[in-house]
Amino acid sequence: MEIFQGLLYGFQVVLQPLNLLYCFIGVFIGTLVGVLPGLGPAAAIALLLPSTFAASPVAGIIMLAGIYYGAMYGGSTTSILVNIPGEAASVVTCLDGHAMARQGRAGPALGISAFGSFIAGTLSVIVLTFLAPSLAKVALSFGPPEYFSLMILGLTILTYFARESMVKALMMAAVGLLCGSVGVDSISGRYRFTFGIQTLMDGLGLVPVIMGLFGISEVLLNLERGEEKQEIFATPTKGLFPTREDWRLSTVPILRGSVLGFFLGILPGAGAIIASFVSYAVEKRASKYPERFGTGAIEGVAGPEAANNAAAGGAFIPLLTLGIPANAVMAILLGALMIHGLQPGPLLVKQAPDVFWGIITSMYIGNAMLLVLNLPLIPMWAQLLRVPYAILFPLILLFCLIGSYSVGNNVGDGIVMWVFGVLGYLMKKFDYEGAPLILAMVIGPMMEEALRQSLILSAGSFTIFFSRPISAGFILAAALLLLLPLITRRREVAKAWTSVPQESE
Amino acid sequence: MSRDLTGALFWLAIAIFFSIEGFTHLKLGTLHQPGPGFFPFWAGVALGLLSLISLFNSLRKTDKLSLSGIKSSKLLLVTGALLAYLLLLEALGFLTVTFLFLFLLLRIEYRGWAFSAVLALVGAVSSYVLFQLWLKTQLPAGPFGF
């Protein structure tokens, strides 16, 4: 009953006109960001974070969350029409989505991704509604050792799914931990690695680092690649509705993608990108005609698109119940909650029920808005893709500059963004991934605190991580993931990954 | 030198720097009372060991990938413009610097002075309206008051 009261309360919060407006702005910007290649949800949320300072915490968070799941809808449009992923989680949609467009079936491809996204998004919010409050109760019993082990598992999962070598991904996680230790040490109060620079005293800002790694570096790479003449398919204004045959083929993949995506979304480190890849691999294996995949199989669009939306819902679970971000976007939302004076974690549901239930219920409404926004407006989004990159890229750079400056009204943060922009460009050139770095940088300080508190608790003995059953379970799972590649060598997901055109985070 | 080798050497240097810094300046503390240098030191050691593994992997591999061509002139110009924007922002004010920045970048890919100038002006003014007046971001004003 508690849950229904919560839901009712949440709807009361969300249905206030101002919150509805913020939700709409969020999903609208999210779709826009999703459609535009080279600007991902992480950079966009980082950019808009300062503009929510004036709003109430609920409204601000509702809007930022809307950008995240909105981008999952928008990304597929670009994948299908231009064969460039609008954002990273719709990379696989290019394979069969674009093939369908080439056969003149862009309409049903766009339609099934919008419906699939809606179904998966809604299903995952329903599960989120029922799961989050009870998980928060379980999480109350977590001590520092459990938190530490869980974060170790999260980093391991992320590196396990690395596109290149796992060693390189682990290296980036270590670099992230080092980046996270810049600034004041929370236990002793000492400055670390600040070299007397004012900007570094508060630590490396998450917003400038993300905008550098995922915004600036992406623009540099695009500029270097030069403008390839991309064919944009004539956009259908009718015929968006999939046929009965399409539905017959897609229903099971959508449901399977929803379940898969949700659970991969929960795991810290996995997330929407991986969920879409795994769903594609699963559908291909389950299909009676796997050879159709890559030539315009609608299941190859429906499954992954459902999976990435479900993952976006699942990703809220660790944030709302444990206070641990599952990916870069959740890391910024965590930062946003803290700026608004809220402490994400098991106590959030008690301390700020309006925010907790507000976020969850806003996702029901946001998903419905997205369905309405996406189907009729697809021609408009497609027009946007015709804006030449020569005009777009100075504006993206300008937004990044303004965003990094306005977090703290400080040019130093802009310099941090510049450094990480150049570093991010070189990392791409040398095949290092940015995602493990970001996640490790965010959870680094939490991990350190949990580790040091655990050691103080146990009087210096590491057995505390193995003697407590939940913690031991996490560590065991992490160890298995680390050892598995040594035995099996080539991983299925990595194989699927390398066979698709590469794009941004 | 292959890419993996260059990368591994770079991160190895970073790892050594952070470990030494953590060990000498920050102090490790003891296991039952870890100090501020404890976590960075071990993260640095982990990075160092992983870099060594990556280094050996790169030596063992036969196909030595080298860097694909970097079109340096355009990228140097763009990264230079970004840096100049940040360094001049507080001295010249948001509107002036933004106009110059957009104008320069539009000229790189687009021919035509007049077109670039008009577009840069529209971009600068509308971002000023959006961020300064509507979203109430505190953008620096220059000597002319904008």
Contact at CB, A178 and B47, closer than 8 angstroms: yes
pLDDT at A393: 84
Do B97 and B50 fall within a single domain?
no
pLDDT at A235: 56
Helix (H) or strand (E) holding A184: strand A183-184
- Determine the structural domain holding residue B95 and report its residue range: 72-134
**Half-sphere exposure (Cβ direction) of A500: Cα atoms closer than 13 Å:** 31
Do B51 and B87 fall within a single domain?
no
pLDDT at A460: 79
Total domain count, chain B: 2
Q: How many CB atoms lie within 10 A of CB B42?
A: 18
Contact at CB, A171 and B74, closer than 8 angstroms: no
Rounded to the nearest 5°, which phi and psi values hold at A296? Answer: 110, 35
Contact at CB, A220 and B79, closer than 8 angstroms: yes
Give ∠ CA A9-A371-A21 in degrees, rounded to 5: 50
Write out pLDDT tens, residues A300-352.
888 898 998 898 888 888 888 888 888 878 888 888 888 788 888 888 888 88
Contact at CB, B36 and A192, closer than 8 angstroms: yes
| Inter-residue contact A366 to A22 (CB < 8 Å) | no
Beta bridge partners of A183: A192
Contact at CB, A415 and B70, closer than 8 angstroms: no
Find the CB nearest A192 among B40, B85, B138.
Answer: B40
| Inter-residue contact A124 to A265 (CB < 8 Å) | yes
Q: Give the rounded percent of residues in chain B with a pLDDT score beyond 90.
A: 8
Residue corresponding to tokens 């080798």: B5
Find the CB nearest A430 among B3, B102, B138.
Answer: B3
Rg (Cα) of chain B, in Å, rounded? Answer: 24
List the alpha helices (DSSP H) in A323-388: 328-339, 348-351, 353-384
Closest CA to A390 of B115, B79, B88, B100: B115
Do B50 and B80 fall within a single domain?
no
Helix (H) or strand (E) holding B33: strand B33-34
Is A497's pLDDT higher than 80?
Answer: no
Rounded to the nearest 5°, which phi and psi values hold at A347? Answer: -90, -5
Structure tokens at A103: 């056969």
Write out pLDDT tens, residues A433-467.
887 888 888 888 888 888 888 888 888 788 888 88
Is B64's pLDDT higher than 60?
Answer: no
Highest average pLDDT, of A65-69, A203-207, A484-488, comes from: A65-69
**Rounded distance between C-alpha atoms, residue A452 and residue B31, angstroms:** 9
Global ipTM: 0.89
Is B53's pLDDT higher than 80?
Answer: yes
Residue B67 lies in a domain: no
pTM of the model: 0.82
Do B54 and B87 fall within a single domain?
no
Residue B65 lies in a domain: no
| Side chain identity, residue A436 | P
How much is the mean pLDDT over chain A? 82
pLDDT at A10: 85
Write out pLDDT tens, residues A38-71.
677 887 888 788 778 778 888 988 999 999 888 8
Q: How many CB atoms lie within 10 A of CB A246?
A: 21
From A290-299, A479-488, B14-23, the region with the lowest mean pLDDT: A479-488
Residue B81 lies in a domain: yes
Closest CA to A64 of A53, A78, A74: A53
Do B22 and B50 fall within a single domain?
yes
Q: Give the rounded percent of residues in chain A with a pLDDT score beyond 70.
A: 92
Do B105 and B127 fall within a single domain?
yes
- Reduced to 3 states (helix: H, G, I; strand: E, B; else coil), residue A103 is coil
Find the CB nearest B50 among A171, A409, A421.
Answer: A171
Write out pLDDT tens, residues A139-193.
888 888 988 898 888 888 778 777 667 888 889 999 999 998 888 887 777 788 8
pLDDT at A232: 64
Band of residue A495 on the pLDDT scale cut at 50, 70, 90: low
Write out pLDDT tens, residues A5-30.
888 888 888 888 888 999 999 999 99
Band of residue A503 on the pLDDT scale cut at 50, 70, 90: very low
Do B129 and B78 fall within a single domain?
yes
Residue B143 lies in a domain: no
Band of residue B145 on the pLDDT scale cut at 50, 70, 90: low
